[in-house]
Amino acid sequence: MNSLKERLIKYAFTAMGYLSLLLLFGIMAVLFIESRPAVKELNILNFLFGPQWRPARTPAEYGILPLIAGSLSVSFGAISICVPLGAGAALYLNELAGETQRRVLKPVIEILAGIPSIIFGFFGLVAVAPFLQETFNLPVGVCLFTASIVLGIMTIPAITTICEDALSFVPRSFKEASFAMGANRWQTLTKVTIPAAGSGICTAIILGIGRLMGETMSVLMVAGGAAVIPKSIFSPVRPMTAAIAAEMGEAARGSMHYSALFLIGLVLFLITLALNILSEHISKKYRLKLGQGR
C-alpha cells in the first residue's frame, strides 16, 4: 500500500489539484491588483452606475452602466429564446421521443454544444444580421436582437443537456405512483415530473445566464458595439465582455482605461461567481430533496 510509487502518484495528483487552486487565486490576484488604480481613482458607485462609457474622450468617463445593461439585455434576450426551446427539447427527448430517436438526437445535441462560439458569431453576421436588417428595415443588422438570437441558439444545447439530466434524475417511482392513481401523461409531466426536476431546471437556467454573461466572441461580432443603454431590441449594444475584448488592445498599459477594463473583468467575475454559487446551492437542495424518493 505505502510503496514509493503510490506515494508519488498521490503527491502528483495533490499537486495538480492545488495547482488549479493556485491558478484561480493568481487570476483573482491579477484582477484585483490591476483594477486597483481604477478602484482608487474612480468612485465605485459612479463606475457601476455611471451612464457614460467614454474612455477615449478628454475628460474620460468611466460609467459601465451601458455595458452592464448590454450584458444583461443580451443575456435575458438569449435566455428567453433558449430556455423555452432548450427545455422543450429536453422534455421531448425525455418524455416523448422513442428509444431510437433519443439515441440519435442526444449525441447530436451534445456535438452542437461543442461548436466554437466564433462559428455562431459568423452565422449571426452573415445570416441573421442581414436578414433582420432587411426584414425590419434597420440601419444596422448587428444589434441586441441579433445577439440574443445568436446567443440563444448557441445556448440551446447546454440548456437541453442539463434539463434532460434533471428530468431523467426524477425517480421512475414518482411517475409510477402518479400513473397508478389514474393521472394521465400530461398531468404526470406537469404536476410531478417538472416540479421534481424544477430546481435542476433552475440550475440549468442560472448556469446558462452565467455562461451568456461571459460569452465574448460572438457578442463582439453581432451585438453592434455601441456603449449606450439600449432603447429598443434593435439598439446596438456593447456587453462587458465585448468592451474588454475590443478595447484592451488600444488601452495603454498602466493607464486608467486599462485599469478600468480590469475592473469590468472583476465585476463580471463576481457576477458569474455569484450565479455559480446560487446554482450550486439550488442543486444541492435538489439532491437532498430527491435523495430519498429513489
Helix (H, G, I), strand (E, B) or coil at 82: helix
Residue 166 contacts residue 203 (beta carbons within 8 Å): yes
Residue 191 contacts residue 178 (beta carbons within 8 Å): yes
Q: How far is the CB of 221 from other proteins (least distance, A)?
A: 43
Q: Which is nearer to other proteins, 179 or 269 (CB)?
A: 179
Q: Which is nearer to other proteins, 112 or 177 (CB)?
A: 177
Residue 272 found at the interface with other proteins (CB under 8 A): no
Binding residue for other proteins, selected from 155, 160, 178, 216, defined by CB under 8 A: 178
Question: Which amino acid, 213?
Answer: M
Q: Restricting to residues 189-228, name those near other proteins by CB under 8 A.
A: 191-192, 195-196
Q: What is the contact mask toward other proteins in residues 95 to 114, using x (rule: CB under 8 A)?
A: ----x---------------
Helix (H, G, I), strand (E, B) or coil at 156: helix
Give me the phi and psi of 20, to 5 degrees please: -65, -35
Distances 207 to 18, 99, 193 between C-alpha atoms, Å: 25, 28, 21
Question: Which amino acid, 34?
Answer: E
Q: How far is the CB of 104 from other proteins (least distance, A)?
A: 18
Cα gap 165→168, rounded to integer Å: 5
Residue 285 found at the interface with other proteins (CB under 8 A): no
Residue 183 found at the interface with other proteins (CB under 8 A): yes
Q: Which is nearer to other proteins, 118 or 288 (CB)?
A: 288
Cα gap 5→9, rounded to integer Å: 6
Q: Which is nearer to other proteins, 114 or 186 (CB)?
A: 186
- Give the interface with other proteins as residue ranges (CB under 8 A): 99, 171, 173-174, 176-184, 187, 191-192, 195-196, 289-293
